[in-house]
Chain A
């Protein structure tokens, strides 16, 4: 089974975003970066499927040179090789642009299965997977918690698979579909593995194929302003030492909010 994993490099959760001079984007060069967490679960699922059914796991990513950090990490965790659509201007690419940048390089590879996270921790459009599926002409399903390949149908193109899709409020649903197909993976589908020293060493020799983006990529979304959210409530901030803060909070919860 030839499996593609689309991963995105995103600012770390701990990084407090700072705005650029025009207040339309973040100061990208000041951020520290990591692998988008839902994509890490997609990678893990791809590695497990390869262990079970054989084949190859290829990491695909879009963005500036800095993206190599998360590509190397994915290779260290066990992916076989990578495709990097590299361009400095793609650091702030939206989901449509990123899918358009990847589609021709991915089409050549003719993957049986494409996995990616259900959304990104930075822009959070939750669009990339279903958009890429449409551009590749393959069926998709989203927010997946389990992937079973039906062994009686083989593991190549045309194999049938059954996936468990998460619905709202604790409901689930099984969906059967043919491959090639694209799935967006929900966090928590598996337990993540971490790179071993051996894996990190091996990753250095693995191939990262760099591809230039296609000409004429145009974003469909224009950010005209970026700002901190407005508070919907007047929050009472309670300071002091831990003991003082605890005393004050409990007093207010008893006397003011009557919540105790």
Chain B
């Protein structure tokens, strides 16, 4: 049996959970039953939604101590769930929450965990899980070692939520109790920093800069290029980390997600954390000195060269 652990917040299902269900159905290949579990406090609605998938069962892990997410609470509940269900594989979406508790869970169970998986292949009769390595410059097919269950997290966007086979599944209560006294983290309510002054998701065109601009004084070049394109200026994480542009202009998993008509990536190598925030853009232009940079894998147009020569040439051309 393959067990998917879905993610919900305040009773609402995280869309990426459907992608994990799609991955599980692909891995099962119709040969192995798939179950989906959802953990939290008051998960009936989320469980009901998941029951619309063609799976053997939806398992609701409902406990008051899981009302607010903590790694200790979720590791405890998931370990009990896995002991009860005895799956061969456990699949989850590779969200920030998953990253926070699943490695600990794997260590407690002493089982293999493969993170950030983008594809599942069959190699010599066994499942191999493809995942990016070396900043996305390479992909590794990884086979988990040691006894089952093997834990797998799937990269957001790698499997299609709309590929989930629909059906009608029964919902069962897992009857798992959580010892609240064993939870060591005391979280407060999530908050956003000062209101986002710049809503990049509304921009028609975006020029985004990355490490390739090398120094703060070169941000001006990117600004002029954005102006020439009639675009908003944005950046990858390292630029905002350095304080060269404000955090609110950051595109990627920790910043904003955008899908403009035109996205011009300047000196951005294309780490996955950046790509998830912009790969839905309609037309993507990549300008980079490194012809092997992963950004070219998703670009419609690629220019390999020195951005300090290409940017002024583009500005001049656009002004014509």
Contacts and interface: CB of A to CB of B under 8 A. Distances in A.
Given A175-B187, A221-B112, A259 B283 contact: yes
A245 B262 contact: no
B320 to A, nearest CB: 8
Contacts of A173: 187-191
A170 interface: yes
B301 A253 contact: yes
A139 B183 CA distance: 9
A172 B304 CA distance: 37
B262 A224 contact: no
Interface string B285-320: 110001010101111111111100110111011100
Contacts of A176: 185-188
A22 B236 CA distance: 35
B237 A187 contact: yes
Contact of B96 (A99, A167, A230): A167
B278 to A, nearest CB: 13
Nearest to A237: B302
A221 B111 CA distance: 10
Interface in A195-230: 218-230
Contact of A221 (B95, B114, B302): B114
A122 B256 CA distance: 25
B143 interface: yes
Nearest to B96: A168
B140 A226 contact: yes
Given A173-B189, A220-B146, A226-B140, A140 B134 contact: no
B241 interface: yes
A191 B243 contact: yes
A65 interface: no
B72 A220 contact: no
A99 B107 contact: yes
Interface stretch (A67-75, A107-115, A126-134): A126-134
Contact of A171 (B128, B191, B304, B318): B191
Interface in A127-151: 127-131, 133-135, 139-143
B305 A245 contact: yes
B33 interface: no
Given A169-B256, A170-B255, A237-B304, A141 B140 contact: no
B199 to A, nearest CB: 11
B261 interface: yes
B139 A228 contact: yes
A11 B134 contact: yes
A33 to B, nearest CB: 13
28 contacts: A13-B269, A16-B290, A17-B138, A124-B132, A126-B103, A127-B115, A130-B100, A141-B71, A166-B96, A169-B256, A169-B257, A171-B190, A171-B192, A172-B192, A172-B193, A176-B188, A187-B241, A188-B242, A191-B243, A218-B146, A220-B144, A222-B145, A229-B137, A229-B297, A235-B296, A242-B305, A242-B310, A245-B310
Interface of B: 71-72, 75, 95-96, 99-104, 106-108, 111-116, 123, 128, 132-146, 184-193, 196, 205, 211, 229, 237-238, 240-243, 248, 253-257, 261-262, 269, 282-286, 290, 292, 294, 296-306, 309-310, 312-314, 316-318
